[in-house]
Amino acid sequence: EAEVAQSPRYKITEKSQAVAFWCDPISGHATLYWYRQILGQGPELLVQFQDESVVDDSQLPKDRFSAERLKGVDSTLKIQPAELGDSAMYLCASSLQVLTEAFFGQGTRLTVV
């Protein structure tokens, strides 16, 4: 069964360091989402791609976060420099098209120390 792949599963980094997360969506899925989920809360959308284009990054802290999906397939989310408040689960999801079911990866648990 096709799944959304994310790596790494866990990441511990020091404050002010750079960190990157990778997501490989289900093959053929045009829409890709990155969410941040603080423990015990709902996911917050950071960025949404349609193919290689960003369609929503209004909640992305652009001074330190960046995201790309160069060939419209896999995607990378980067934080530089990381801050203590960035500790959270980072979830990637994909859907065949906008408005269809979103499938989630297992997430990357980030701890900033």
Partner 1 sequence: AQTVTQSQPEMSVQEAETVTLSCTYDTSENNYYLFWYKQPPSRQMILVIRQEAYKQQNATENRFSVNFQKAAKSFSLKISDSQLGDTAMYFCAFISAGGTSYGKLTFGQGTILTVHP
* Smallest separation, CB 75 to partner 1 (Å): 16
* Smallest separation, CB 57 to partner 1 (Å): 11
| Contacts (Cβ under 8 Å, ≥6 apart) of 11 | 19, 21, 108, 109, 110, 111
Residue whose CB is less far from partner 1, 16 or 59: 59
Q: Is 25 in the site for partner 1 (CB under 8 A)?
A: no
d(CA 100, CA 75): 20
Of the candidates 108, 103, 91, the one whose C-alpha atom is nearest the C-alpha of residue 27 is 103
d(CA 113, CA 54): 30
34: part of which helix (H) or strand (E)?
A: strand 31-37
Q: Is 80 in the site for partner 1 (CB under 8 A)?
A: no
Stretch that binds partner 1, among 11-19, 62-70, 79-87, 105-113 (CB under 8 A): 105-113
Q: Quick one: which of 19, 23, 25, 43 contacts partner 1 (CB under 8 A)?
A: 43
- Interface residues with partner 1 (CB under 8 A) are 31, 33, 35, 40-45, 48, 50, 55-56, 91, 93, 98-99, 101-107
